[in-house]
Structure 1
Amino acid sequence: MGTHVIKMPDIGEGIAEVELSQWHVKVGDLVVEDQVLADVMTDKAMVDIPSPVHGKVIALGGQPGEVMAVGSVLISIEVEGAGNLKESDKPAPLAAKETPVAAKVEAVVESKPAAPRTAPVCQGPMVAREADERPLASPAVRKHALDLGIQLRLVRGSGPAGRVLHEDLDAYLAQGQSNASSPAATAYAQRNDEEQIQVIGMRRKIAQRMQDATQRAAHFSYVEEIDVTAIEELRAHLNEKHGASRGKLTLLPFLVRALVVALREFPQMNARYDDEAQVITRLGAVHVGVATQSDVGLMVPVVRHAEARSLWDSAAEISRLANAARNGKASRDELSGSTITLTSLGALGGIVSTPVLNLPEVAIVGVNKIVERPMVVKGQVVIRKMMNLSSSFDHRVVDGMDAALFIQAIRGLIEQPATLFVE
């Protein structure tokens, strides 16, 4: 038997160190080739680290949340044969029992899709864990278990590395074990439990970016009410006529088109500001970031060259990127390079919001929900579909008057949708 040492790989782009976000294995686990061992976080994306060999994990080289240098020892695996261990590669082993992080951060694949994560299928839904042992599960599964009154430590996970899945909760309930095991099943039972969650990986990056944006940029927001009755009628007509062959249109591709057209008159909004060099770069290409909520937090995949896309092309790309982000499959290139951002909470959009800039951009357009309201049109009270745009700008670069005129231009295009296509 020998030892195969896996070092922190060179992710590229001159990155010298990365954050170890989460282990998917522990000391003593048997692993197979291409099984994902760990997630690491760069400045831009989450990356899977797969195993190149079959073997048994004998040592881990870091703790979740630890920043590790490229080339440092990540993990040691016992293998058949001589292995590749050098004296200088021997890591200081961690304790065999580790506390997993609160939520898995789904990986962002860099160059090619990772092979499916493999793990033995567990027999039976219930397992006994120690009281302080925290089972692996996503935030959605944890919330589902809490709502059902299930203690996760009693549920056997069938996912990779014993991760508890929604199906495992269903199996647990099917065997009628939750009522007997969980005092939380009583809706009005007192609770004194606490939960500490490490802010690491993608959540740490989001927190850092949001804090950095609010500290560096001089935010100001502008809210405008828009009548979307006409464009909603156009959207319904196009979906009825072409939806089966070209795909259904949401409002987002229309808004992307409105941004593209309005930016011709207001190019200062399609810009990046390097505050250290004191340089504003205005771009001809419109790369629209579309803020997307995922299990690991807010991600902003980028619709590149929106100025060259049709409605259906934009719609297909928005859908593709959103699915990739939610499934943890968006690449670094797909999550970077935006010039202006569009953010929407869909039906939960509320009345007004104050979106935070996606630095180094200088403008972000926020979409609120559509509501029907009585409005006065040509002296008559009529029911119209109304929506607010809540947008934020960097006051260091964008003047208030220009911001208002920019949003008014978008309003005019949306309220008279034919003008979106008039050249």
Structure 2
Amino acid sequence: MGEHIIKLPDVGEGVAEAELVEWHVKIGDIVREDTVLAAVMTDKATVEIPSPVDGEILWLGAEIGDTVAIGSPIVRLKVADDGNVKAGKEAEPATGAEPPARLPSPKPEAASPRKPARPAEIPAKPASSSSAPKTVTRSSASGAPRPEGEKPLASPAVRLRAKEAGVDLRQVAGTGPAGRIGHEDLEAFLARGPQAARGPGLARDDTVEDIKLVGLRRKIAEKMTLSKSRIPHITYVEEIDVTALEELRAALNKEKRVAKGGAERPKLTLLPFLMRAMVKAIADQPQLNSLFDDEAGIIHQHGGIHIGIAAQTPSGLVVPVVKHAEARDVWDCAAEVARLAEAAKSGTATRDELSGSTITITSLGAMGGIATTPVINHPEVAIIGVNKMMMRPVWDGTQFIPRKMMNLSSSFDHRVIDGWDAAVFIQRIKALLETPALIFVD
């Protein structure tokens, strides 16, 4: 028997470190070769770390949200052979590589598994747990059972049960050796809670849950903070009559036309038409298709139009990019949007597919509201926001007639784009969407 240390491998893309966003295992799990141990994030791409050997998890070297340098030890395994650690030197690799610092003692609380390798081996909760409150944080009647700063002793299963019940284990007296807290100690502590916390009806809830921002959510927070702190936004809202556009879109979708290569043309949504309208409007105002380096005071005006499409995924907001929209027709735009949306939702989008935009579209679909104030995707200078479409009565000079209406709520970097230029840009897009035949005219 021996031990095998797994280090964070080079995940590519020239990065020197990555953020740990998920553990798939916990201490004590038996894993096989190629079992996924953890997931790390670089930029907005998530990379899974597999095990190179069979073994039992002895130690996990980081917590969720930690930034880990490439080459740092992250997992220690007990293996059937000699492993890669020299006997008598717990953390010194046998490969002759520079030995890492001595590994700290195992920390059960460092693991926060969502996909345990052996779910059947997780200790079952006691039957009495069904009647216990889920969010109770109370001290025992005799006060804190241990001095301030002393770490309570408990098994990973007890810690998991305490976490689910919202209990601070520092307040629980243990009856085991050296004050170790067992399941019976935890259940006895929960049973002493006030009846009001467990009974039906209204009850006060004074619990506070601390949630650490990690992974994609942390990156979104950083990006939005950067944008709002540096860019003075101006938002312009305009109403668009999309009745004719929707009629054209429905007619085109009824045609089962075949695209180049023999594949059936994709279904058209509003976005491809908006993208083509933006391409035509940018041809008249190329300064809208720019990135502003505010530190150097330089505007990088791009010829290629790379449109970011803000997309909501189970992990959070990402912005896949349709490259060179100026060279795509509406069907090509539709196919690329569909492909990128699927890659974003499945988490398979590459770093290149999630970067390089020069202007962005954001849409909440049917949840789009009447008006929004979109946040610019720094360092771009403009973002086009699509609000929900609805039937409204519109006065035509003699009577009210039903028309399909939609607002565009768009934000601009006021350091680079004046209000007049923003209005001209949106009015040009409005004219193209309201007379959609013009979108197809070169």
Query: TM (normalized to structure 2)?
Result: 0.76
Separation (CA, whole Å) in 1 of partners of 2:265 and 2:297: 45
Separation (CA, whole Å) in 2 of partners of 1:122 and 1:82: 29
What residue number does 1:162 align with?
Answer: none
Asked whether the equivalents of residues 100 and 134 of structure 1 are also in contact (C-alpha less than 8 Å), the reply is no
**Counterpart residue type for residue 106 of structure 2:** L
Question: Post-superposition shift, 1:186?
Answer: 6.6
Question: Post-superposition shift, 1:302?
Answer: 0.9
* Residues 217-296 of structure 1: pairs in structure 2 closer than 5 A: 217-242=231-256, 245-296=264-315
What residue number does 1:410 align with?
Answer: 429
| Cα pair distance change 1:343/1:186, threshold 3 Å | farther
**Counterpart residue type for residue 40 of structure 1:** V
Mean CA deviation greater in 288-297 or 308-317: 308-317
What residue number does 1:159 align with?
Answer: none
What residue number does 1:141 align with?
Answer: none
**Counterpart residue type for residue 5 of structure 2:** V
Asked whether the equivalents of residues 25 and 116 of structure 2 are also in contact (C-alpha less than 8 Å), the reply is no
Q: 2:28 aligned with 1:16, yes or no?
A: no
Q: Deviations over 1:161-181 (max 9, x none)?
A: xxxxxxxxxxxxxxxxxxxxx
Q: Deviations over 1:308-366 (max 9, x none)?
A: 22222221221221122122221111111111110000000000000101111111000
| Cα pair distance change 1:134/1:346, threshold 3 Å | farther
Asked whether the equivalents of residues 29 and 116 of structure 2 are also in contact (C-alpha less than 8 Å), the reply is no
Question: Post-superposition shift, 1:218?
Answer: 1.2
Question: Post-superposition shift, 1:372?
Answer: 0.8
Separation (CA, whole Å) in 1 of partners of 2:119 and 2:68: 32
Q: Deviations over 1:53-73 (max 9, x none)?
A: 222111111111112212111
Separation (CA, whole Å) in 1 of partners of 2:246 and 2:208: 46
What residue number does 2:143 align with?
Answer: none
What do you get for the CA RMSD once the two structures are aligned?
3.0
Secondary structure of the 2:303 match is coil
What residue number does 2:193 align with?
Answer: none
Mean CA deviation greater in 355-364 or 255-264: 255-264
Asked whether the equivalents of residues 26 and 111 of structure 2 are also in contact (C-alpha less than 8 Å), the reply is no
Question: Post-superposition shift, 1:42?
Answer: 2.1
Separation (CA, whole Å) in 2 of partners of 1:350 and 1:416: 24
Q: 2:40 aligned with 1:40, yes or no?
A: yes
Question: Post-superposition shift, 1:11?
Answer: 2.9
| Cα pair distance change 1:54/1:241, threshold 3 Å | same
- Identity rate of aligned residues, in percent? 52
**Counterpart residue type for residue 240 of structure 1:** K
Q: 2:330 aligned with 1:311, yes or no?
A: yes
Question: Post-superposition shift, 1:223?
Answer: 0.6
1:198 maps to which of 197, 205, 212: 212
Question: Post-superposition shift, 1:100?
Answer: 2.3
Separation (CA, whole Å) in 2 of partners of 1:185 and 1:209: 44
Question: Post-superposition shift, 1:281?
Answer: 0.9
1:94 maps to which of 95, 103, 106: 106
Question: Post-superposition shift, 1:131?
Answer: 7.3
2:225 maps to which of 200, 211, 225: 211
Q: Deviations over 1:355-390 (max 9, x none)?
A: 101111111000000011111225332111110000
Alignment gaps of 5+ in structure 1: 105-116, 137-149, 153-182
Question: Post-superposition shift, 1:96?
Answer: 2.4
**Counterpart residue type for residue 69 of structure 1:** A
How many pairs are equivalent?
A: 367
Asked whether the equivalents of residues 63 and 111 of structure 2 are also in contact (C-alpha less than 8 Å), the reply is no
Q: Deviations over 1:196-241 (max 9, x none)?
A: 2111111111101100110011111111110000000011111122
Secondary structure of the 2:375 match is coil
| Cα pair distance change 1:118/1:58, threshold 3 Å | closer
What residue number does 1:172 align with?
Answer: none
Secondary structure of the 1:242 match is coil
| Cα pair distance change 1:77/1:249, threshold 3 Å | same
Alignment gaps of 5+ in structure 2: 86-91, 94-98, 130-156, 167-196, 259-263
1:355 maps to which of 374, 378, 385: 374
Secondary structure of the 1:272 match is strand
Answer with 1 or 2: which has the greater Rg. Answer: 2
